[in-house]
Amino acid sequence: MAYIYEVESRGQADVLVCVTESRGLADLLVCKVTSRGEARKNEGLWCTVDSRGIASSTICLVDSRGTADLVICYVESRGDAGWRKNHALKGKI
């Protein structure tokens, strides 16, 4: 499941995330959804939550791929969302 809580401080984040516009550079293709039920089905479907307590992952957005734990690309289609390659965070978002 991917219930995402975003923080400003790297020290408070579980995962440092860099956003790219290139699908080819992304580890994970992400489609934003509003329903927590949808986000349970696929780690590429991210539902932003307002409480850290219900989040499955706390993220901090970073500018550099080199400092990121995960590189994502936002996509419009739920069908396109998901992992592009094997990754250490697979199953942990």
| Per-residue pLDDT band at 37 (split at 50, 70, 90) | confident
Task: Kindly report the pTM of this predicted structure.
Answer: 0.93
Q: How do 57-62 and 15-19 pair as beta strands?
A: parallel
Query: How much is the pLDDT for 77?
Result: 95
Phi-psi sector, 91: left (phi>0), alpha (psi -120 to 50), beta:
left
- The residue written with tokens 């986000």 in the block is 39
Alpha helix segments (H runs only) across the chain: 36-39
| Per-residue pLDDT band at 57 (split at 50, 70, 90) | very high
Percent of the chain with pLDDT over 70: 100
Q: Is the pLDDT of residue 67 over 80?
A: yes
- pLDDT (average), residues 30-55: 92
